[in-house]
Structure 1
Amino acid sequence: MLSLTEQLKVVHRSESSSFISFPCAVDFGCVEQSQHLPCTGYKPVRINNLILHSTGNINKFYGLQADKLGEGGFGFVVEAKSLSTGNRYAVKKVSKAKAKQKRLEIRSEIDIMKLTDHPNVVKLHETFEDRSQMYLVMELCAGGDLDKHMKGQGGPYSEHQAAILMDQVLKAVSYLHDCKSICHRDLKLQNFLFSRKAPVENNVLKLADFGLACSFEPGGVLATKAGTVSYCSPQVLGGVYDNSADLWSCGVIMYMLLAAQPPFPGKNDAEVAQRVRKGNYVFNDVAWSTVSEEAKNLVRKLLKYQPFDRATAVQARSHAWFQYAAPFLRHAIPVQPSVVSDLLRFSRKTTFQRAALRALAMQLSQEAVDRCSQDFAALDYKGMSFLSLQDLEELLEMPDLEPVHHELRQVVGILYSRPADDNSISFNDFMGATLQQDQCQVGMLRAAFRIFDQDADGCISAQDIKQVFCKSSHDASAEVVSAILAEASMGSSEPLRYQDFSEFVSRSLST
């Protein structure tokens, strides 16, 4: 147990890290040493490097609708349509004047969203900024939030439906905690959105609103009282807590899915907080009379009063209730041989080829992304949307995957040749790897070109390359920049025009 002095030291370290820019993730390398760039001044490119920030007019690229999807203290959310791809997005408009004192928090929200790449987490597509507004262009979830959905059906979910939903809730939390060291701090029904208007069984649930999220250190302590009272753990209300507070919130969510009422009711926040601090709840309502003991057991594990007794997201997902309520969730999904072949080809591509395919994959429609997510799930048996070297090695031990063992071993061999911080496959990697030529429309190519044309002057210059690929404009060697430009333009180091980029992408997809 940490002393108060030690706790305060950790609090200061953890809380101060909540509002700084996060380091970029790492790039998935290739086999041939001659195909990747010199390491001096080189920044591996992941999805967070490809999220464009523009200071231009958002209306040149998106058609914003007048109707509001939601509203908050600093702005509101509207639907928008990309003028190049036709894809629909949700745009969060933030008033700079109203949010003047919260500028760092908004920047932190953007930085954290840039880090995430998971099918059950709402994606940030790009950001804009003008003199009066900031705009966050995000994945549109047209199915509405979980709270409204449950109220619309007039009662609790069946255990089967609740298991489908909780599996996705816990996947998102496990990814944030175990892959990104991010504590969300505001998990609630209203912040889980359905991808589309469809039944629970045929839908995708996504976590949104990272306005209160922060980074944490394993074993560290957080101190800011954040969140919605009815979902807060006793420790959050006390001001000393850790990331297990998110699991308490998961317990509240599961309770509400099965009972359509909160475990800690009250007439106001003060009354609710008093009940939460005591940690006492019951299963004696009529709604619980038909709920299984397995379900109640998992709720108890998530609502353990002491954080060290509380189940982690990984432990919760392995609970017997899921096998009881929705056994198909744990059935192995057949892996298509073509998928592994695509991954092998992708891993052999050059640095710029991989980055271009990732940027292109970011322009896919939501329907295409959801289909890709289903294919990735066959390999992503842990649900992390992230395949480490160890994960791939474990896949090689599975007899069902024997038909693809040969190519999978080659992928593993490639990853073994990379540094320890550069040997994984993300969901964005997978989308880029499985992208097909017939999926690439002109609008998608133009949108991808914009990502690399950082200064929006109509060409990809040496300065643009530095911003996307390099740690800073000061430590990027001319050799690195020239190599990237020469690769894309078949030998020339002149700036790339759109036609050059289009031909380069076409070659990348065909090899």
Structure 2
Amino acid sequence: MGQCYGKTVPGAGSHRQQNTTTIIDTSAGDGDGSRTPLPSFANGIPSVKNTPARSSSHASPWPSPYPHGVNPSPSPARASTPKRFFRRPFPPPSPAKHIRESLAKRLGKAKPKEGPIPEEHGVETDSQSLDKSFGYSKNFGAKYELGKEVGRGHFGHTCSARAKKGDLKDQPVAVKIISKSKMTSAIAIEDVRREVKLLKALSGHKHLIKFHDACEDANNVYIVMELCEGGELLDRILSRGGRYTEEDAKAIVLQILSVAAFCHLQGVVHRDLKPENFLFTSRSEDADMKLIDFGLSDFIRPEERLNDIVGSAYYVAPEVLHRSYSVEADIWSIGVITYILLCGSRPFWARTESGIFRTVLRADPNFDDLPWPSVSPEGKDFVKRLLNKDYRKRMTAAQALTHPWLRDESRPIPLDILIYKLVKSYLHATPFKRAAVKALSKALTDDQLVYLRAQFRLLEPNRDGHVSLDNFKMALARHATDAMRESRVLDIIHTMEPLAYRKMDFEEFCAAATSTYQLEALDGWEDIACAAFEHFESEGNRVISIEELARELNLGPSAYSVLRDWIRNTDGKLSLLGYTKFLHGVTLRSSLPRPR
């Protein structure tokens, strides 16, 4: 339900409506016949039923890369990515979400006024009983003069317009018009309300579409935004033959990471990052980009995991398909975009949506074929660290801005909510675990310290070089918007209460804000672990029983047989293997051998 998606109206130069495939999975039907049918799952692999926009009874609009009469291998894990230039994607998204989940956020446990909520089996709501009054301004015609249509999608169309009065008088704007007649369910109404709330709450970033106004009348909702006349990023990729040079790609990726870092700090996950959702402000080659289309976006608390499957097939992260994800899913999508920018091919490709999902879950991107041999090692490492299937090992947007491929000492680095989550875990850890991560932080290289120094500076340490809870609190407050308050990001400060009675210097901050999982993704992890273990041996390692080690890891007696291998027989202390396993943490499922 964002600014624009769907088929382009001929002659329209900007604000193209997105032609998107959205993967939607909800447990309850919403009764809206215009929505994309839900995917079904077999053996854990999602498959998509036929949609009105793309039925399997018709020939695929995608030309096959295989010779006539030759079918692709049924293997889901392809050895390489098919050499296909990026082409126009899929049908428009349906921003449907689970009805009970969405309405609970807005209404709590109170019964909604607009009538009965559809049950799990998908009973359709009588659209006549729905309250379609949003409380927006009702004088749209007096304030704006509509121009030509510039895009159309399933749930509305976008027009250029001119403001007739007020602060925007005589300025061109874009107006997204959503018909109330198509709001046939409570969830459809909630989608529109949430999109406007997100656009209004997320304010002040250079690369985020500017929201101006929201109006309504008896027939439509009107969302007024800035007009971007430079076209989509997708168009520019295609105009360059499908790929960018490394230097030009960097300029694009920097803008994407900057706005993603801003959204994530505010507690907003976009969930549909792709080239079609970035518009250029003008036709100039060096024009700024703006992120649009928050129809699938949502507020998310720092420790929250979402489980509804939404997004666009080629850009969807593995954990989304596994129904447990957070802002890291956006980072995966940025990795896909960067891969496309650098080589002109998709990292995951198949002839069907279900095939795409299989490759996302099982296959690795191809970095061997042309043009990858000519891409810098830093560029390849950058993409690989975004496309790690383990979301815990991916860089955050703020971290990616400090990666050697993009690093610029003069460029400010945004505050990262990840350090709050890591410091919180450190403060609640046992003394033995804190000693282990302190040793790990002493083995960090200069590359890893660049990010940590930048984050420590953003906390504005006291004159004695220490930070306290107040520093963390004030740093968040300086970046707060209405979105941060809506997503309750500030609540994480309450979980860091132990820091109210003590201070932390830079050395301890490095220990607290270091992620073992992210270090494990590095090529030099073994060297880092060995160096860290040497520090641990001299400063923190001690005799520990199997029972105590199990308590440290919250494991029961059934794990003793595994933990026994972590402790040296000679002195009863952790071995190198035990140290690295202890840092990583285990669960019964991952640590115990499977029965034969």
- What TM-score comes out, normalization by structure 2 length? 0.48
CA RMSD, Structure 1 to Structure 2 (Å): 3.6
The residue correspondences of 1:435-446 to structure 2 (distance < 5 A) are: none
The one of 475, 478, 487 equivalent to 1:424 is 478
**Within 2, Cα distance between the matches of 1:244 and 1:17?**
25
Aligned residues: 310
Secondary structure (helix, strand or coil) at the match of 2:379 reads helix
Unaligned runs of 5+ in 2: 1-96, 109-133, 413-450, 465-469, 483-596
Question: Deviation at 1:53?
Answer: 6.7
Alpha-carbon displacement from aligned partner over 1:364-385 (angstroms, at most 9, x marks no partner): xxxxxxxxxxxxxxxxxx9xxx
Equivalent pair of 2:272/2:312 in contact (CA under 8 Å) = yes
Answer yes or no: is 1:137 the counterpart of 2:224: yes
* Equivalent of 1:58 in 137, 140, 158: 140
Please state whether the residue corresponding to 1:185 is helix, strand or coil. Answer: coil
Closer, same or farther in 2 for the Cα pair 1:285/1:227, shift >3 Å? Answer: same
Query: Gaps spanning 5+ residues in structure 1: where?
Result: 1-10, 23-51, 324-328, 334-381, 383-387, 398-415, 429-511
Q: Is the 8 A contact 1:96 1:132 kept in 2?
A: yes
Bigger radius of gyration, 1 or 2? Answer: 2
Whether 2:195 is the aligned partner of 1:109: answer: yes
Corresponding residue for residue 155 of structure 1: 242
**2:366 is the alignment partner of 1:282:** yes
C-alpha offsets along residues 235-289 of structure 1, whole Å, 9 cap, x if unaligned? 1112222221111111001101111221001112121111011141111332223
Equivalent position to 1:119, from 206, 209, 213: 206
Question: Any conservation in 2 of the 1:193–1:205 contact (CA below 8 Å)?
Answer: yes
Cα distance in 2, alignment partners of residues 209 and 193 from structure 1: 10
Shift of 1:421: 9.7
Instruction: Tell me which protein shows more helix as a share of its residues.
Output: 1
**Greater Cα shift, 81-90 or 255-264:** 81-90
Once the two structures are superposed, the pairs formed by residues 131-210 of structure 1 within 5 Å of their partners are 131-178=218-265, 180-199=266-285, 202-210=286-294
Return the offset for 1:181: 0.6
1:396 is displaced (CA, Å) by 11
Counterpart code for 2:253: M
Is contact 1:75–1:95 with CA below 8 Å preserved after alignment? yes
1:332 to 1:422, Cα distance in 2 relative to 1, 3 A: closer
Partner of 2:150: 69
Q: For 1:275 and 1:245, how far apart are their aligned partners in 2?
A: 16
Aligned to 2:556: none
Call closer, same or farther: CA 1:65–1:263 in 2, change over 3 Å: same
Q: 1:235 to 1:393 in 2, by over 3 A?
A: closer
Secondary structure of 2:221's counterpart equals strand
Cα distance in 2 for partners of 1:90, 1:129 equals: 15
Q: How does 1:31-430 map to 2 (within 5 A)?
A: 54-66=136-148, 68-84=149-165, 85-101=169-185, 102-117=188-203, 118-178=205-265, 180-199=266-285, 202-323=286-407, 330-331=409-410, 391=458, 393=460, 424=478
- SS at 1:100 equivalent: coil
Amino acid at match of 2:397: A
Contact 1:14-1:222 within 8 A present in 2 as well: no
The answer (yes or no) to whether the contact 2:211–2:226 under 8 Å persists in 1 is yes
Whole-Å Cα distance in 1 between the matches of residues 302 and 476 of structure 2? 22
Q: RCO greater where, 1 or 2, for CA within 8 Å and sep 6 or more?
A: 1
Q: CA 1:299/1:332 → structure 2, altered by over 3 Å: closer, same or farther? A: closer
Q: AA paired with 1:261?
A: S
Residue 174 of structure 1 aligns with an amino acid whose one-letter code is A
Task: Give the letter for the 2:256 counterpart.
Answer: V
Q: Is the 8 A contact 2:173 2:227 kept in 1?
A: yes
TM-score normalised to structure 1 length: 0.55
